[in-house]
Amino acid sequence: MQQTANTKFRELYIHLPEALTARFAATLDAALRDGWTRLPQSKEASPDPFDWHIYYVCRKRRNRPAALLAIYRRDIDTLYVSNIVPKDIRELSNDQYNSILLDFHHNVLRNLKPNFPLKFLLTSDQVHPPIPVSASSASSAVNSRF
* pTM tops 0.75, yes or no: yes
Per-residue pLDDT of 46-101, as tens digits, reads 556 667 889 999 999 988 999 999 999 999 999 999 999 999 999 999 999 999 99
Q: How many CB atoms lie within 10 A of CB 19?
A: 11
User: Which residues have CB under 8 Å from 51's CB, separation 6+?
Assistant: 43
* 3-state class (DSSP) for residue 78: strand
